[in-house]
Amino acid sequence: PGSQFKPDARSKCVPSVFSLKMAGKIQQYVACKKALTQFIGKQNCAPIMVRLAWHDSGNYDKRISEWPACGGATGSIRFAPEINYGANAGLAKGLKFLEPMKAEYPAVSWADLIQMGSACAIEATGGPKIPMKYGRVEAADSSACPEETSRGTGGNAGLPDAMAPFGCGAQDAPTHLRNIFYRMGFDDEGIVALSGAHTLGRAFKDRSGTVPNASGEENATKYTKSGCPVRHDATSGDYMPGGKSWTEKWLSFDNSYFTTLAEKQANPELIRFPTDEALFQDEKFRPYFEKFAASQEDFFEAYSRAHKKLSELGAKFEDGGFTLPEE
């Protein structure tokens, strides 16, 4: 298991060069996490930080043992051709947000920085604190990018689709979700819990292409126009208008994704994809859906576990990895 500091095997009294370097490294990680959390809160960019990290780790294939061919949280998404896959449209902006952080805190690997951004985003928007582990080795170049069809899907290196036709060949949404997430090692509870992160963010015509709403005030819904109190602190903040959201307060991490979907009458101003409806229509998904709709505490607990697992898929941790001191 990872630890905060690696003990010096040669002496219990005099710190080794290794332990001193490790202490300095951890200080950079702590400072980076603080700066990143503040940046995300100011820029209202939590959704793209979550999406960037998920799409980096979401191509993991448990059937492949070699690293980095197995995919996962390696930081390979920063290279072409992967960043240019259709499912990753718009994520270059997320990488641009992180570039100044990487320059200021060079000890933080790209693989760690991408996953750190997602965990900070969840916490900055009112969600649970994810018990993160760091020390991921970053992919060195584009040779680490998985080929688009390498996961048995029609494209996008095995990332999930919102609606048919499903790249994995599934004929319905529940089967598609299981095909994609079972390949990563998740169970039904994990699938439903991770889906709950759609409480954050929006879809755009000029990104995923799954909704008719592009970016811009003229394309906004009543919840994505400028000035809506969508943050968890009930303020609007400054954000790019447009797109369509799953929830009314799409910069607040809570269980409203489930409570909104539980309403019998769909709100035309909000997203409801087949993969969303699958969570309450499928008999095996439904108990978890109802549990999370009834209890935000239960959702946060399950989500935190699933997020941590997703953030570590395929990761190669240097010296077993490490955690950060409690704040």
Q: Cite the active site residues.
A: 55
Q: How far apart are CA 58 and CA 156, in angstroms?
A: 10
Q: How far apart are CA 269 and CA 247, in angstroms?
A: 9
Structure letter (DSSP) for residue 246: S
b/e burial code for range 294-311 (CB count within 10 A of at least 16 → b): eebeebbebbbbbbeebb
Q: How far apart are CA 264 and CA 286, in angstroms?
A: 14
* Of 145, 82, 83, 77, the residue nearest 111 (C-alpha): 77
* Of 264, 44, 60, 24, the residue nearest 158 (C-alpha): 60
Count CA atoms within 13 Å of residue 130 on its CB side: 29
The angle that helices 173-184 and 188-195 make with each other, rounded to 10 degrees, is: 100
What is the per-residue DSSP string for 198-209? GGS-EE-TTTT-
317, β-bridge pairs: 136
